[in-house]
Structures are given as C-alpha cells and as structure tokens.
Amino acid sequence: MGLPQVLFFGTDLVSFGLSFLNFYALYFAISLSLNLEFGYTGIPNFGKVMFIAGGAAFAGSISGRLAAYVYGVGVHRDFIIFNTQIISDVNAKLTTDPAFAVGLTVLSLLVAAGVGALLGYLSSYPAIRLREDYLGMLLLGAAQFFQVILRTYEPLTGGAQNIAVPDPYVYWSSLGSGYRDLVAGLVASAFVIIIFLYAERVARAPLGRMLRAVRDNEDASRALGKDDAVVRRNILIISSAIAGMAGAIFTFYVASVEYDTWTRFAWTFWPFLIVIIGGAGNNIGVAVGTLFFTLAFKGLQQVQPYLQPYIFFDVNWLQDILFATLLIVILLLRPEGILRERSTPTLSRSKVSALVGALRGQDSGEEAEPESSSRLGRRGRRLWKLARRRQKSEAEGPP
C-alpha cells in the first residue's frame, strides 16, 4: 500500500510535493555552499559543478564496489561491464538489510565530503592568490577539465556508458509507492537543515565578519593581519565538501551516475541564479530564492508541454530562455536580491537590551537595574565610566 493520491487537473499532488521537497532541499544546500563562497567571501566559483559531480561520482562508484564486495556479488566480474546485474543483486540484498544501507549512505557521504574537500584544495592551491575574475576563470577551466575526465575515464563511472549505484532507499520502496521518495526527502531535508545552521553560525561568528572584510577590501584585511589567501582556501574546501555531499545525496536519489547530468547550466548557473535572486550574503534570502526558483522550475515543468503550439521555437529551450531573462530582470531592478544583506548581530537581542539598559541606568544617575549586577551590567558600567572620563577631559580642555 503506497501513499494516497490527490489528483488536481491530472497531477498527483503528493508525488509533486515529494519531488518538490527533494529538489528544494538539494538546491538549497548547494546554494548555501555557494553563498559562503560568493556571498560572504567573494569567490566567484564558476566551477561549482566540478565539486558536486566529483562527490557524486566517487560516492556512487565506491559504494557500488563496496556493497558488491561485502555481499560477495559479482566479485570476479568487471564492475563496469556487468554493472546492471551486480547492482540489481546488491539492491535485492539491501531490501532486507536496511542497517547496512544506512551505514553505506553515511560512509559514502564521508567519501563525497573528502573528495569535494580535496578538489577544493587542489583547485585553490595554484589560484587562490589571483584576483576574483582570474580565479573564477580558472575554476571554470578546472570544472571543464574534470568533466572531460568523467566522460573519458571508464574505470570510475563508466565514462559515457553511465552506471547504476546501490539504492539505499530500496527497503522503503518495498512498503509501497511514494515511501522511497518521502524518506529521500527527509534525508535531504535533515542535511540542508544542518548546513543552514552551520552557515548561520559562521555568518554570526567573528569568522563571518572576517569573510566580509576579505570580500569588501583585501588590502584592509591584510593590514589588520588577516591572511586572505588562507581564508579563501579554507572556505573553498568547506564549501566544496558540502557540495560533494549534496552530489552524493542526489546520486542516491536517482540511483545512477550519468555523465550528461552534470551540466554547468544546471549545477553552476542555477545556484548562482538562486543566490542572486534571494540576496547574496543572506542565508534567509537564499532560502527564499531557492523557494522562488523551485516554484518557477516545477511550475514550468507542468505547463511546458502545453505551450508548444503558442511559441515559434522548440519548447525545450523555454526554460533556459526564461531563467536567463529572469537573471537580467533581477540584476536591473533589484540587484541586491529579494532580501538584501544586513548586518549580522553577534549578540542576542536580550543581551543587547541588558547592555543598553545598564548604560542608560548609569547615565541617568538612577540606581542600577537588577540585571546591571550581571556580567553585562559590569561591562556597561565600565563603558559608561570610560565615556564619562572622556567627556570630562574634553570639557576641561588641554592643560
């Protein structure tokens, strides 16, 4: 027994909702990693597809070989040539072994994170000291080079042949239609929530202010003793690890690794479009931008087949044209995005209120508020005393 169907104009809303959830969570995670690079640090990572595809390719390839070895399936056969049969036998084993499926998924995510981080380090090592435009062009070239490797190096993912990968959600498929996509959506949602909390913590920490300083003025940050090259390298490594894990989650969702999937338009242009729509340097804005983009993408998918009689070109190009036009319109009318970047408070509102209250109480000569005896209150009194000394010295004038 599967999930119930709710039909609306011939569309199953339950199936549509699950597809929407998986798409939104995946692109939200990728866009958050791009926001760390581009929005906060100013790294124009035009090679974003390389890190996503790298994590997906290695996670899919290693998980398939490892599962086949553990279950003793096709051990003496060529994994690429007999891939369909081997993975089919592995999935039959995973249907009755969900615990191993969970372990295989976790291990594959760690592998994908390591591969993404390694690619981030290798790509940053020779180019991180370049100016932003040259750095972006080098990352673009590196991504193209990696795509050629995926296309021609058959031992990894079969080259142009493509391969199937173990389906860690196959156990839930046996319970009925829809459960597999539901569990996959929950896994992707849990992943993106963790990434969002991490990105928000970075933005509100002193590290976030340092990233903005490197982005806004490299010379000033260097004058303050900050090593902008190290900062950019570390952010590129962390963001690439996140992108690699997102690629692995997508690979397990579609249960295959296909060379044609990894296009620059879908995995580099779309995340940039999402960040620009929502607002660079604003994680909440990225969430809003991802929601706007997902609604447009999924909505267009539903109506696109009916539009061919009304347009003069192939309807398959409509998506590309509309999104390119949307980018131009956003940059002309609202270049800061739906939610512009705002200063990020480093203290909670309650702590700021307590500090301000302590200062006002001292300034008016009233008795100290009860909270002024706290640690913040002591800080407030010290600040007030310093301010009064300065006012007094200025009023007395030079000796």
Residue 370: predicted pLDDT: 47
Q: What DSSP character marks residue 205?
A: S
Beta bridge mates, 11: 8
Those residues with Cβ within 8 angstroms of residue 366's Cβ, 6 or more apart along the chain or in another chain = none
Residue 26: predicted pLDDT: 96
Those residues with Cβ within 8 angstroms of residue 247's Cβ, 6 or more apart along the chain or in another chain = 51, 52, 53, 54, 55, 56, 57, 59, 112, 116
From residue 58, alpha-carbon distances to 63, 111, 232, 381 in Å are 8, 7, 25, 58
Band (pLDDT 50/70/90 cuts) for residue 364 is low
Distance of CA 145 to the CA centre of its chain: 23
Percent of the chain with pLDDT over 90: 48
Q: What DSSP character marks residue 265?
A: I
Does position 376 have pLDDT exceeding 60, yes or no? no
Does position 134 have pLDDT exceeding 60, yes or no? yes
Does position 368 have pLDDT exceeding 60, yes or no? no
Q: Which carries the bigger pLDDT value, residue 380 or residue 176?
A: 176
Exposed, middle or buried by CB within 10 Å (0-12, 13-18, 19+), for 257? buried
- Put simply, whether the predicted model's pTM sits higher than 0.95 gets the answer no
Band (pLDDT 50/70/90 cuts) for residue 398 is low
Distance CA 165, CA 128 (A): 35
Does position 369 have pLDDT exceeding 50, yes or no? no
Closest CA to 169 of 93, 261, 79, 101: 101
Across residues 61-70, what is the average pLDDT?
93
Beta bridge mates, 256: 164
Residue 173: predicted pLDDT: 87
- Start-to-end Cα distance in the chain: 90
